[in-house]
Amino acid sequence: MNKKRIRLRAIVSAVVLMLSFFLAKYDVFAGDILSYIYYYTDTGYHPVPAPSPYNYIKSVNAEDLRIEDLNGINSIFVSDKHVYIGCNGKIVITDHNFNLIRELTSFIYNGKEQEISDITGMWVTDNEELYACEPSKGRILHFGSDWSIKRILGKPEGIIIPENVAYQPLKVAVDSVGRIYVVANNIYEGLVEINPDGTFLRYFGVVEVRYTPIQLFWRRLQTAEQRARSRLWLPVNFSNLTIDGDDFVYATVAGSGDEEPIRKLNAKGRNILRYPVGTGVKPQGDLEYNHYGLRVPAGKSTLSAIDVNDYGLYVVLDTKRSRIFAYDEDGYMLYAFGESGTAEWRFQLPVDVKFMGEDRLLVADRGSESIKVFELNDYGRSIHNAVKYQSQFNYDLAMEEWKKVIDHNPAFQYAYVGVGKALYRRGDYKTARDYFLLGQDVYYYSMAYKKIRQEWAEQYFDLFVGILVLLVMCVSVYKIIKKFKFQVRMEA
Amino acid sequence: MIAFIQDKFISVLEVFKNRIDLKEDFIKYPFYIISRPFKGFSDLKYENRGKMYFALMVVILMCFFNIYNEMYKGFVLAGYYTENKTVNTVYVIFMTIIPIILFVVANWSVTAIANGSGKMKEIFMVYAYASYPKIIFSFIGLILSNFVTVEEAAFAMFFYSLGMVSFLFYLFVGLVVIHEYSFTQSVLMIVMTVIVMCIIVFIVALLLALSNEVIVFIRTVVEELTMRL
């Protein structure tokens, strides 16, 4: 009896041990989520597999929300308390646990009830006022904090667009002062900036047309008739926008092929997005891609959504290959994950991406009419924490997190740069230099190397001066002796 | 017998000793060319001052330099870092020697039919003597590249570029002198040389591709025959 009990206990403990082992593992190597990181070698950037930074939690569809459908889900917005889901004909409002709070399908304006048509973009201000774009009716709906209609912003007064072009607001963002930024269809002058009172202020952040010399050459050769019939060279439009805590507008450029597809616009409308100085590679989604495309679509990433969190970490969504890319505020890529497919954690037609709280990420998928919920695992949380500490200039804490990241993924080169930065602050320049070498960062390597060289020069400065003085003395003594000898010979 | 071999050996050594004047061949004459290229290269053609063994040494030096350049170029200039770096020496040597052969053959084939009076040996020697300053400058650049930061990288790059520019300059001058061309003729010759180099590369590539076809054909025939027999 006693023996049996011991044996049972042994089996149970073994099973528990094994389970705990698997559970611990599972926390990082999340399912089959495709994830990679760009690794720099002598032939440029190449993708290498990386652990997924997110675990797939669940997929929220109409049934879970107890509503009819999420047909044509086009945008989501996460405010401090609620999640807003913009669909075809309604706006669904839930709390952060996806319990339905309200389903807006119509509103009463001036005593008349109006149906909501398709909602393509939304923004919620800090005091829970909702702005929603309704492109088919050419207007932006402004709801109060109790979700009753407050005003309807039609085509803004004073805007200059041709008569035959309809004003179709697609995406909207509102800054802390109440200025409204709109991405509108068929408007190539940039973002439309509207005053808080609804009047047109200006066009903002124009995407310039750039010509290559070859294009200009061919255009010179064309006749006027040919020129009239060939395609217009229009500047590309923006596809989505968001605003960070400091009222900087982040926008993604529609279509692919632009040099700077992600832009951070300052008050003047200039792009001030930072990128690594060492390599000069601008944040743009995939760096290596199919040129001809057999099963994976070819060409550069097409970015269609962007969201930025409190500490400047931003994610962009590539609709072309259904991938999500994250960058820190210095423009270094942190992770890339996701792929298209019909499995639960894959995307059929992702349209929007938003952070929820500290460690959740929501992806709106129009193809499966659902919202995919992802949660940071140990690996991803370490990356986020490291970036957070770094933005707070807390380099020592950041170094601990970067070291954890390296433990999970030794191929993550930016983590070495992070560790190096902390060591550099401490004054341990030699180790910092070695880390910068591993991180392949020429810029920071130079900073560390300069310090090392300076220290070296200071250390041996006395020696150099001593040798120099000695040499001068030797030469002069030699000359004097030679002269003396010469004189002696002359006398002789 | 042993005494005879010894004598022979010593006499050979003496001949070499008389013919090889290291100071003259490796310092005086190359630097004479650097300072007075026209006079220097005409000395090469008419006074037999140029030495074939020096030219071969320069080729070997170039191979060594390119290997060291791959291996020890500073992180700032190379742009990437690898622990336990390895260099494919055979590849580097081939990539050094093949362009030389290509250039010499192309230039000779152009000038032989266009009244150039330079021999193939002379073209090769001009190439080698013109490469000498390039090796020196690039070597300075290579050393400096290990001691510069990003802001000073241009300083090391300058030496590499200077090496390249001086190489092109001395090569041009040397070819003008040994072929006895006027300026316009020699510019034309350079353009033609480049075209011929392209043609040679094209033909060699074509030859390799076609010979592969022939080999495959012969192999299939042989296979077929062995199957039948």
CA distance A188 to chain B (A): 39
Which of A40, A442, A450 has the CB atom closest to B75's CB atom?
Answer: A442
Q: Mutation target for A interface from B81, B146, B152: give the one with most A CBs within 10 A.
A: B81
Cα–Cα distance measured from residue A476 to residue A478, given in angstroms and rounded to the nearest whole number: 5
Coil, strand or helix at A316:
strand
Of A229, A242, A235, the closest CA to residue A187 belongs to: A235
What are the sequence ranges of the domains in chain B?
50-228
Of B95, B108, B127, B129, the closest CA to residue B192 belongs to: B108
Position A2 scores a pLDDT of 67
Q: Is the dihedral of CA B196, B199, B204, B205 positive or negative?
A: positive
The complex scores an ipTM of 0.77
B153-159, long-range: CB < 8 A, 24+ apart: B153/B76, B153/B77, B156/B74, B156/B76, B156/B77, B157/B77
In sequence order, what are the beta bridge partners of A99? none
Position A24 scores a pLDDT of 46
Q: Please give the residue of chain A at the shortest CA–CA distance from B145.
A: A446
Q: Are A317 and A352 in contact (CB under 8 A)?
A: yes
In sequence order, what are the beta bridge partners of A124? A130
Cα–Cα distance measured from residue A277 to residue A331, given in angstroms and rounded to the nearest whole number: 10
CB contact under 8 A, A442 and B76: yes
A445-A450-A452 Cα angle (round to 5): 95
Q: Which amino acid is at A149?
A: I
pLDDT in tens, A379-394: 999 999 999 999 999 9
A314-318 and A303-308 strand pairing: antiparallel
- Walk along chain A (492 residues) and give the pLDDT tens digit of each residue: 566 677 767 666 666 555 555 544 444 444 578 889 898 888 888 889 899 999 998 899 888 888 888 888 999 999 988 999 998 888 999 999 889 998 888 888 888 888 888 899 999 998 889 999 998 888 899 998 888 888 888 888 777 777 778 888 999 999 998 899 999 887 878 888 998 888 888 888 876 666 778 878 887 888 888 777 776 666 778 899 999 988 899 999 887 777 888 999 988 888 899 998 877 889 988 888 877 766 778 888 889 999 999 898 999 999 988 999 999 998 999 999 998 888 888 899 999 999 998 889 999 999 899 999 999 999 999 999 999 999 999 999 999 999 999 999 998 999 999 999 999 999 899 999 999 999 888 889 999 999 999 999 999 988 999 999 999 999 999 999 888 887 877 777
CA distance A417 to chain B (A): 13
Cα–Cα distance measured from residue A413 to residue A268, given in angstroms and rounded to the nearest whole number: 34
Q: Please give the residue of chain B at the shortest CA–CA distance from A277.
A: B150
Q: Are B52 and B125 in contact (CB under 8 A)?
A: yes
Domains, chain A, ordered by start: 35-376 (2.120.10.30)
Coil, strand or helix at A240:
strand
pLDDT in tens, A304-339: 999 999 898 999 999 988 999 999 998 999 999 998
Q: Please give the residue of chain A at the shortest CA–CA distance from B70.
A: A42
CB contact under 8 A, B81 and A446: no
Average pLDDT over residues B65-74: 92
A46 touches chain B (CB under 8 A): no
What is the count of residue pairs from A and B with beta carbons less than 8 Å apart?
29
Of A136, A171, A167, A139, the closest CA to residue A153 belongs to: A139
Coil, strand or helix at A188:
coil
Q: Mutation target for B interface from A433, A444, A449: give the one with most B CBs within 10 A.
A: A449
Average pLDDT over residues B163-184: 93
Cα–Cα distance measured from residue A357 to residue A482, given in angstroms and rounded to the nearest whole number: 86
CB contact under 8 A, A446 and B76: yes
Q: Are A199 and A178 in contact (CB under 8 A)?
A: no
A81 touches chain B (CB under 8 A): no
